[in-house]
Amino acid sequence: MTMLARYHVPGLAVEDHAIDVPLDWTGHRPGHGFDGASIRLFYRVLAAPEHEHDDLPLLVFLQGGPGGAGPRPNDPTSDGWIEEAIRHFRVILPDQRGTGRSNRIDTHTMAALAAAAPDQATAARTQADYLKQFLADSIVRDFEHLRLTEFGGRRWTTLGQSYGGFLTLTYLSLFPQGVAASFTTGGIPHVPADATEVYEHTFPRMRMKTERFYERYPQDVERVAALADRLPSAADLTGAEGRWASANGRDVPLLANGDPLTVERLQCLGSDFGMKPSFERVHWILDDVFLDGDGSANADSPLSDEFLAKVEAATSSRPLYWPLQEFIYADGELDAPIRWAAQRVRGTLPEFGAGQRPLLFTGEAMFPWMFEQERALRPFRPAMDVLMEDTRFGRIYDAEQLARNEVPLQAAVYFDDMYVDSGMQLDTLSRIGRAHWWVTNEFEHDGLHGSVVFRHLWREAMDRGDLADLG
């Protein structure tokens, strides 16, 4: 192994490692040598201090996202599943390619690719082709290469949270021989994949979540309306960073990084509504909106700096999260381009309009205006325009292989999951061999991060004998 560091954090023995993997897996096989451009794959290995030198089974964590790096635990309880996992496993935490310490992608990467191209069209195509190398088919090949080259080809158990569940089905489609057992939490995709279908299910849930939020905090109906009435819509804006103007003459409040605060960006606070305690987090952000007086709804009051800082923090995201968001549903040759699926679905739902009151919040969805008005996303816009018209992507699911799957799969399905529809999850699970599922409404999408969910899944799998052959 390529050891970078060995150390301890409270309750955990930690090792840092990195290996080289191909940038483009075309023509290469995991576990074999390769030529051409490479990138670094960083991964961290955790063990309980009392098991630091024990030969335990391996568990690899498939992080949610897209664009999410592996956890950085402060102790075993800071990400609740880890405390249970290190009792039974040596835990591997990879940073998926393009995230964390694995050749992270951000605005600098996009700028460098553009600068090396002879013209804008070539730059956009180059950026788009580069981003396509950071989707599930490449991520899973990285992990299989890691298993074969650094862990002696030992089969391992996978634990996939959210998008990590999507990666799990890709792993079981492409390399089932590498997996001893799989766990997923809130992350079984619909197979066949269809981005438009996903958002047709998502927006009605966002309407329901918004209604529940206002029922719990009715004072925020007036507060949000007073705020939204003074903000421009994304469509009204002209200009560029630091020089924004509103076509309807409204002032354009700016976040600290120079991004304009529009009604649509305000609506993005709802992206958190699928986690706990999201209603409270959003309520307290709104509590600090108005500077004057006692902070009650006041259309004439300046917006507080504290509120603007909180909105920026709550609505900014990892650099790959929004650019790849809709392409995690792109599987092989598409019948039609994706063409901004969330925006197309939203366009059929006037109740989500910027001028509607009470204002509805939106969820985990990306929109074209983000790549025009958000500083961290603007360099990705040329690539997005190309990708949204693309129809050729890597294959990520093999429905026939999943139907004859022999790897024990235990899934936690959150009945009220805002991001991954429970009905669609159950439909897919019904067509996967050796799949079992636990449906619960006790938890939101982030239930794994507590102490209950993984322990429950572990015990169910143990009781069935599914973990008897861990290697």
Smallest Cα–Cα separation from 227: which of 287, 280, 279?
287
Answer yes or no: is pLDDT of 319 > 90.
Answer: no
Q: What is the mean pLDDT of residues 432-451?
A: 96
Q: What is the mean pLDDT of residues 311-319?
A: 91
pLDDT at position 295 is 87
Answer yes or no: is pLDDT of 240 > 80.
Answer: no
Task: Output 55 or 1, whichever has higher pLDDT.
Answer: 55
Q: Are 175 and 197 in contact (CB under 8 A)?
A: no
Q: Tell me: the pLDDT tens digits for 264-308?
A: 999 999 999 999 899 999 999 999 999 998 988 888 899 999 999
Pair of tokens at residue 468: 């008897």
Q: What is the mean pLDDT of residues 454-459?
A: 97
Pair of tokens at residue 266: 């305000």
pLDDT at position 2 is 79
pLDDT at position 1 is 57
pLDDT at position 204 is 97
Q: Is the pTM of this model over 0.95?
A: yes
Domains and CATH numbers, the chain: 3-97+133-192+396-464 (3.40.50.1820), 195-387 (no CATH)
Q: What is the mean pLDDT of residues 395-406?
A: 98
pLDDT at position 456 is 97
SS (H, E, C) the chain: CCEEEEEEECCEEEEEEEEEEECCCCCCCCCCCCCCCEEEEEEEEEECHHHCCCCCCEEEEECCCCCCCCCCCCCCCCCCHHHHHCCCCEEEEECCCCCCCCCCCCHHHHHHHHHCCCCHHHHHHHHHHHHHCCCHHHHHHHHHHHHHHHCCCCCEEEEEECHHHHHHHHHHHHCHHHEEEEEEECCCCCCCCCHHHHHHHHHHHHHHHHHHHHHHCCHHHHHHHHHHHCCCCHHHEECCCCCCEECCCCCCCECCCCCECCHHHHHHHHHHCCCCCHHHHHHHHHHCCECCCCCCCCCCCCECHHHHHHHHHHHCCCCCCCCCHHHHHCCCECCCCCCCHHHHHHCCCHHHCCCCCCCCCCCCCCCCCHHHHCCCCHHHHHHHHHHCCCCECCCCCCHHHHHCCCCCEEEEEECCCCCCCHHHHHHHHCCCCCEEEEEECCCCCCHHHCCCHHHHHHHHHHHHCCCCCCC
The pLDDT mean for the chain works out to: 96
pLDDT band at residue 471 using 50, 70 and 90 as cut-offs: low
pLDDT at position 163 is 98
pLDDT band at residue 129 using 50, 70 and 90 as cut-offs: very high
Q: Are 130 and 113 in contact (CB under 8 A)?
A: yes
Q: What is the mean pLDDT of residues 367-375?
A: 96
Q: What is the mean pLDDT of residues 7-27?
A: 98
